[in-house]
């Protein structure tokens, strides 16, 4: 699969293990599919999958890895890939733009991409077969590129892999799912969730200002083959200036994310979250807790390759500092009320799964987070004397679920007096 910022390669086994804990749920929706690794792993594990991403290159990957079934495309795709591997190079738009005006690929490989892409266009293939051979070309080009995995810049000296000859391979298309047809959508996520009738919604949005279209503009142009005007050193498509995601703006992220979660009807929501984004853990947990019981699994990782090797300007000089080389990835599991109606022991299963999969260092962090919440509730009660649960929510900024957990801890420690105040219970601290 292609190199991709935020790809969930390292989280796959944990994600699949969680989902396999619920064999009653058979249809997974991957709302921001990117490389489609997650959807692919779910389909391989037997799930029916619907994938969505608003960029054309990601939709192409989803058609190949999720929507296409091996039984339908394998023989034709293999024949075409063998044929394209014999096509000689003929320089065109791709070579001129990405090998001459910029240096993302060596010209001999650029010319092969041009010739093969034109040959694909002339075949007028059925959509899923078209996507499989196009994915094969995209991945072949990715294996001989001269970048650090992002197309905002190319490396100063040719990368060693760029000298190799472009060679297409058959992508790992999977057999049909027994639970029904898999699909690939290409819409805005907030629209897509309204038509995705799935049991599990997997949500992995962009978490900061870095636009996926700008970072992978070459794949977008290769897939669309619309030969657009370009700008800047990286020869980005001009529409990178206008096609924006609200998830890449600090101003709109929180609002659209909240609307997305509220629009999901799936009984189980699984959210990937990274501690380097616009939202803090506290904000995210507060928001998710409005929609059901929340469990968190923490995974501790190295940061993406750009951060490992440093930050460089287009002339290859090291600029800026890398702040840290490890980051935590969080998987939030939100059990919405219909899950418990459908699977009565769902909460117990989620709790066991979360404990089993969690990386150990995070346990301390979780405990300290819970201690923080208890402290916030105690401070609020010390300040105001008595308060109802909804007043405590206002005073602490915690969600109702988090306030309840903190109150349970204080009750367990014998620190709480519970009184009746009208219709709501009133809480105060025991001296």
Ligand X SMILES: C[S@@+](CC[C@H](N)C(=O)[O-])C[C@H]1O[C@@H](n2cnc3c(N)ncnc32)[C@H](O)[C@@H]1O
Contact residues for ligand X, defined by CB under 6 A:
4, 6-8, 32, 34-35, 37-38, 53-55, 58, 188-189, 204-206, 212, 245, 247
Q: Which string of b and e fits 331-364 if b means at least 16 CB within 10 Å?
A: bbbbbbeebeeebeebeeebeebbeebbeeebee
In the bound state with ligand X, the residue whose beta carbon lies nearer, of 107 and 277, is 277
Nearer Cβ to ligand X, position 66 or 374? 66
Q: How far is the CB of 202 from ligand X (least distance, A)?
A: 8
Q: What is the DSSP letter of 312?
A: B
Residue with Cβ nearer ligand X (84 or 212): 212
User: What is d(CA 255, CA 334) in angstroms, rounded to the nearest whole number?
Assistant: 19
Instruction: Give the chain's largest Cα–Cα span.
Output: 84
- For ligand X, the closer CB: 73 or 271: 271
To ligand X, the closest distance from the beta carbon of 400 in angstroms equals 29
Backbone angles phi, psi at 393, to 5 degrees: -60, -45
* Shortest spacing between CB 244 and ligand X, in angstroms: 9
Query: What separation, in Å, do the N-terminal and C-terminal C-alpha atoms of the chain show?
Result: 61
Phi first, then psi, for residue 28 (nearest 5°) are -105, 135
Indicate the residue among 34 and 292 with the shorter CB distance to ligand X. Answer: 34
User: Minimum Å distance from CB 4 to ligand X?
Assistant: 5
- State the minimum distance, in angstroms, from the CB of residue 212 to ligand X: 4
User: Whose Cβ is closer to ligand X: residue 95's or residue 298's?
Assistant: 298
Tokens 């694909």, residue located? 120
What residue spans of 244-315 are helical by DSSP H? 250-263, 281-289, 305-309
What residue is closest to ligand X based on CB?
A: 34
Q: To the nearest whole angstrom, how small is the minimum distance from the Cβ of residue 150 to ligand X?
A: 13
Sign of CA dihedral 31, 35, 41, 43: positive
């Amino acid at each position: 699969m292609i190199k991709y910022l935020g790809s969930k390669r390292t989280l796959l086994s944990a994600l699949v293990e969680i989902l396999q804990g619920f064999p009653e749920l058979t249809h997974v929706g991957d709302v921001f599919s990117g490389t489609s690794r997650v959807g692919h792993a779910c389909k391989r594990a037997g799930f029916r999958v619907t994938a969505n991403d608003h960029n054309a290159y990601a939709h192409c990957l989803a058609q190949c890895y999720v929507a296409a079934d091996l039984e339908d495309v394998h023989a034709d795709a293999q024949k075409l890939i063998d044929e394209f591997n014999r096509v000689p190079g003929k320089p065109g738009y791709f070579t001129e733009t990405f090998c001459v005006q910029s240096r993302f690929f060596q010209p001999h490989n650029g010319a092969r991409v041009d010739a093969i892409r034109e040959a694909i266009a002339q075949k007028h293939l059925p959509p899923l077969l078209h996507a499989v051979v196009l994915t094969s070309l995209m991945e072949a080009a990715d294996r001989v590129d001269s970048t650090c995995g992002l197309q905002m810049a190319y490396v100063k000296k040719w990368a060693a892999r760029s000298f190799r000859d472009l060679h297409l391979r058959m992508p790992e298309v999977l057999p049909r799912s027994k639970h029904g047809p898999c699909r690939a959508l290409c819409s805005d996520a907030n629209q897509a969730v309204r038509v995705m009738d799935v049991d599990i919604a997997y949500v992995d949005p962009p978490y900061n200002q870095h636009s996926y279209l700008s970072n992978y503009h070459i794949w977008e142009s290769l897939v669309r083959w619309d030969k657009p005007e370009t700008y800047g050193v990286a020869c980005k498509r001009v529409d990178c200036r206008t096609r924006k995601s609200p998830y890449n703006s600090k101003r709109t992220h929180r609002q659209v994310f909240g609307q997305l979660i509220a629009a999901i009807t799936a009984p189980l929501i699984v959210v990937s979250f990274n501690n380097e984004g616009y939202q803090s853990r506290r904000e995210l947990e507060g928001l998710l807790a409005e929609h059901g019981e929340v469990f968190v699994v923490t995974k501790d990782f190295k940061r993406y390759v750009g951060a490992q090797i440093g930050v460089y300007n287009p002339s290859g000089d090291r600029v800026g500092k890398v702040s840290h080389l490890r980051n935590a990835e969080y998987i939030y599991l939100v059990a919405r009320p219909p899950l418990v109606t459908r699977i009565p022991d769902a909460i117990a299963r989620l709790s066991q799964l979360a404990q089993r999969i969690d990386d150990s260092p995070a346990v301390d962090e979780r405990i300290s987070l819970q201690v923080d919440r208890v402290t916030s509730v105690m401070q609020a009660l010390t300040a105001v004397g008595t308060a109802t649960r909804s007043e405590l929510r206002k005073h602490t900024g915690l969600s109702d679920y988090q306030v309840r957990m903190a109150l349970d801890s204080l009750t367990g420690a014998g620190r709480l007096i519970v009184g009746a105040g009208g219709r709501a219970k009133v809480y105060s601290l025991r001296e």
